[in-house]
A and B are shown apart, each in its own frame.
Chain A
Amino acid sequence: MISVENLYHDYEGKGQYAVNDVSFKIKEGEVFGFLGPSGAGKSTVQNIMTGLLKLQKGSVLYEKKSIKEMKSNFYNDIGVSFEFHNLYLKLTGFENLKYYAGLFDVATKDPMELLEMVALRESAHKRVSDYSKGMKQRIVFARALINNPKILYLDEPTSGLDPATATQIRQLIKNKRDEGCTIFLTTHNMYSADELCDRVAFLNEGKIVAMDTPRNLKMKHGKKAVVVEYIRDEKIEKSMFSLDNEEERLKLNEVIKKNDIQTMHSQEGTLEQTFIKLTGRGLV
């Protein structure tokens, strides 16, 4: 559905690429995670894909049609949620959605329904300047859905949110995924990516360093082992057993049979550990 090939972007034209030979494909209905630390080039790629930034080199194709050829009606089919809130602070939440809806040529959702969906119905007629950060994040997310987009671009949708609000937003993203919406998720939150994405690409210093399903990445770069905590002789013991080694697998069975198991964790690693392993740097 979306094909990005050999994408480059140089902001200052001095040969310092913020995006350097980036290529990937996104299938219809897929949730594609674009992961990397701040400054890795994630938002630049999203901005080129949404036509906000001029395409300098490479190609971005939607159903084989270049972003360069897209007319303004292209925006009827996409929804974009920005990391920064970009709302009219002097308008109410309802007014922000109502006027935004009026800019599209396609049927739009009822602003009040969207506000209900993101639990802002009671604050619908409050000015956005009086909203908390979480409330603003939710309304920006709601705004991205107003035109029933086929493709949803979400830039750090859970950034800086309290756990409850972040969970709520993730659930809404899952709902859109279940409805068949194609989602391009830009984040440095590996937990969100792991939970939501069908595939992820790791972006570091403008280049893709790895791309696969979260499971495959974790399996490929993590340890195939189990850490077990158990009680023996009234003391808590902790041991790691490799699952590749037959002798250790037998030991693990022995421990499970003979002891009171407290905890047991597989060691396939997290996406964050995988990222650190591949790039030598953290995600923030």
Chain B
Amino acid sequence: MRKLLNLYMQDMKLLLRYSFTWLMLGTILIFLAMYHFLLVDTVEQKQTMYFVDDSAGSIMEIALTSANAEDIVFLNSVQELEELILERETQVGVLFSGTMHEPKFTIIHGETMREENVKLIGAALKNTLMNIAGVNVEPQYTTKFLEERAEPIPQNKMSLPLILTYEVVFFSFFLSAVFIFQEKAEGSTRAYRVTPAGTALYIASKTLVFITKGFVYSLVLLLLTIGPKVNFLLLFPVLALGISLFSFIGMGLATFYKSLSEWMLIGMAVIIISALPIFSIMIPTFSPFYIEWMPSFPVLFSFREILFPSGMDLSRQIFNLIGLNIIAYILCHLIVSKKLMKEGA
């Protein structure tokens, strides 16, 4: 324990003396500044519908006006409508022609409008028309939620699980490589080899340093964004498991290379591949097995659940992380012992 503490203090001092550590911690300040001054809780996009009623007697215009329909602006001509939509591509234009018995709607919109929205507008117009005709169009469906609905995640907090994951995946993986290459360049690993300290302490002290940095980083980030209501008792163990996992992977991999420049290609490839589970967060239906088996997947999903609880059981993700940690540590220990702690082995 005394040796571990001693090594930990040494590695911590080294970490604090690397300029990139401060650069990385500076990213918190940038994010916090963005969070508090640029990003907002919810983004409301107001969409106005521009309407031209070309029918005899302007029946739709009269019906919509009497129904006090919001966000509808009535225009006088088709030409005026087309010019306006060309100018404001995110807005929608509707041209009504024909009669009550043979209605004809033309929806005019910019290129960015999604097909689902076009159909929704079409359905709304059809409902309006049926109301005018006196047909009951009350919805005949009900919605039943099997689980309690989670609070919607505020837009400016959506990126927090991603930032934490990047702190774990990117920083601890990258820092492991930086430490190994720095020590290789200085030759200090050689001096370490002729002490009784051994491989396990070497790996453990570095991992503990990265975990400490991760805790400080996360604590500052989360206290100044979400506040103290985060379940830190669950977050910290998951954070520690994530950081240790990527530290073991980082150290094991860096051992095979002589310098950071040699490592860069494979290192960046690992980081990019590890980022793939982000797609599963963005598109919940996209979670193929090869994404779920990535070490970053349980980390990312656990962070999201801890920060924004939806009632999901995390035990599977945590067991996955523990299992991956055991495998990664064994491999890392073997590789570091064989390749870093011996010469010419």
Chain A interface (Cβ < 8 Å from any Cβ of B): 11, 47, 50-54, 72-76, 78, 80, 82, 84-91, 95, 99-100, 102-105, 143
Contacts and interface: CB of A to CB of B under 8 A. Distances in A.
Contacts of B17: 90-91
Given A95-B10, A102-B6, A103-B197, A87 B344 contact: no
Contacts of A143: 191
B150 interface: no
Given A86-B186, A86-B190, 8 more contacts: A53-B343, A53-B344, A54-B345, A86-B191, A88-B188, A89-B186, A103-B6, A103-B192
A82 B187 contact: yes
A99 B194 contact: no
Nearest to A43: B343
- Residue from A11, A76, A82, A90 with most neighbouring chain B CB atoms (10 Å): A90
B9 A99 contact: yes
A75 B195 contact: yes
A80 B344 CA distance: 18
Contact of A76 (B10, B189, B191, B196): B196
A99 B10 contact: yes
A139 to B, nearest CB: 11
Given A75-B194, A90-B14, A91-B14, A99 B6 contact: yes
Interface of B: 2-3, 6-7, 9-10, 13-14, 17-18, 186-198, 342-345
B14 A50 contact: no
B194 A78 contact: yes
Nearest to B4: A102
A80 B317 CA distance: 47
B344 A11 contact: yes
Contacts of A53: 342-345
B196 A73 contact: yes
Contacts of A11: 344
A100 B345 contact: no
B254 to A, nearest CB: 18
A52 B193 contact: yes
Contacts of A91: 10, 13-14, 17
12 contacts: A47-B343, A52-B190, A52-B194, A52-B342, A52-B343, A53-B345, A54-B344, A54-B345, A74-B196, A86-B186, A95-B10, A143-B191
B119 to A, nearest CB: 63
Given A91-B13, A105-B196, A54 B191 contact: no
